[in-house]
Amino acid sequence: MLVPLMLTVLSSVHVSVHSLQGLVQLSLDLVKYNMVTVFMCTALLVFLGTLYFMSRPRKIYLVNFACYKPDPSRKVSREIFMDRTYRVGAFTQENIDFQKKILERSGLGQDTYFPDALINVPHNPCMDLARKEAELVILFNPTPSLSAMIVNHYKLRGNILSYNLGGMGCSAGLISIDLAKELLQVHGNTYALVVSTENITQNWYKGNDRSMLLSNCLFRKGGAAILLSNRPSDRRRSKYQLVHTVRTHKGADDKSYSCVYQKEDEDMKIGVSLSKDLMAVAGEALKANITTLGPLVLPVSEQLLFFVTLVARKAFKMKIKPYIPDFKLAIEHFCIHAGGRAVLDELEKNLDLSSWHMEPSRMTLYRFGNTSSSSLWYELAYAEAKGRIKKGHRTWQIAFGSGFKCNSAVWEALKTINPAKEQNPWIDEIDDFPVHVPRLSPVNSS
């Protein structure tokens, strides 16, 4: 009886030992399997996370910008402009009177600026003075280029990427911003410096084609520099973040392509001709541009109203006016290229903007004239000097240029701008603005 009992006990113990070893082995296998699974899942998450961070667009910050304010000795009143126009001796009396008429209705004030070559008597639009104007402010295309001149002046390092954009007209500033944005998406931990300028020393027309005389009356000296960064560490000290850029090019249409065109007149004198179709072309370009921009910035309610109206007009042939979206629901500040009073009037009407929204553009035209691609930055500087920019506010810059192009940039303020801490061309005189700009400002006879 004892032996079988012992065998039974021993057998039970043997079985128990085997079961325990199997359980331990099973546990080890499960742990090993789980570790492999955890490792693979972790590796997959790391890969997907890396792919996401590498593929998502880098945030572009506007660290700061500066606008050039010429010396008071370069101020040109309407009377000085007409005096220098007369002294050139190249214009007929009829075309002198024509320029006077344009100037009186232009919206330009008494304190815009000219380069030395056009203020001095006699006129001397030579290459040296054109370079001097460019160096002071930084449609002038010398060799070496203006971008090379900046590299030389500031002795920048040899691996800098330099681009010189010419022939882009007044929209070149936002084209440069868009180019810088694309470059900053490729090159990490990088800065981009954009310089916008108007150079009129060698672009003052001395002929009698009236379509080319308009630019003489409107364009003035100016320039701006904008520092962009894609470094996350720069967010804290930056003013704005670039939210959207939209570029529209109507160059495939012959009328659009030729509405702003540099050519020679009958006397072989070079000038920039502005056609009578300019306003219509600008309107079509703006329409195409905001059709792309709208869905990016407008609230759903505005997009729905626009879509319903479009369907009603196109599909059901209903005779109703096109619905103009209210961009004021998405944008707090508007900086519209100060190309001329007619352009500003048209956009104020088409976008249903108030005089408050138009104030930066109209005051920039009045105080500094048409400074080409840099005008948008004088306008933003005006809004800053007035203390209007609050954290979270969005600013829409709209530029037009030859070709024909319409370009937009939308910026979001990262901080509330304190005018007391700013240094820009408006600060020491901002309390004098806004001023009333009459439809007609007579030029006093000398």
**Residue 113 dihedral angles phi and psi, to the nearest 5°:** -125, 145
Local structure of residue 328 (DSSP, 8 states): G
Q: Give catalytic status of residue 249 as yes or no.
A: yes
Q: Which of 111, 117, 444, 370 is nearest to 361 (CA)?
A: 370
- Distances 44 to 37, 40, 55 between C-alpha atoms, Å: 10, 6, 16
Are the C-beta atoms of residues 240 and 411 closer than 8 Å to each other?
yes
Is 217 among the catalytic positions?
no
Dihedral sign from CA coordinates of 347, 180, 329, 389: negative
CB-hemisphere CA count at 13 Å for 286? Answer: 22
Q: Which of 203, 208, 289, 337 is catalytic?
A: 337
Please identify which of the residues 203, 370, 407, 424 carries the catalytic annotation. 370
Q: Could you tell me where the beta strands, DSSP code E, fall in 301-404?
A: 333-336, 394-401
Catalytic residue selected from 208, 333, 335, 357 = 333
Spatial contact of 327 and 351, defined as CB atoms under 8 Å apart: yes
DSSP reduced 3-state for 311: helix
Which one is catalytic: 67, 123, 170, 199? 170
C-alpha torsion 374→380→385→387, nearest 10 = 180
Beta bridge partners of 224: 67, 196
Exactly one of 123, 203, 216, 249 is catalytic; which is it?
249
Angle at 445 between CA 107 and CA 76, to 5 degrees: 50
CB 371 within 8 A of CB 342: no
337 in active site: yes
- Give the C-alpha distances (Å, rounded to integers) separating 165 from 145, 180, 194: 9, 12, 11
Q: Which residues pair with 222 in a beta bridge?
A: 198
Q: Dmax of the chain from CA atoms? A: 143
End-to-end alpha carbon distance in the chain: 143
Task: Name the one residue in this structure whose structure tokens are 């006879």.
Answer: 445
Q: Catalytic residue numbers?
A: 170, 249, 333, 337, 370
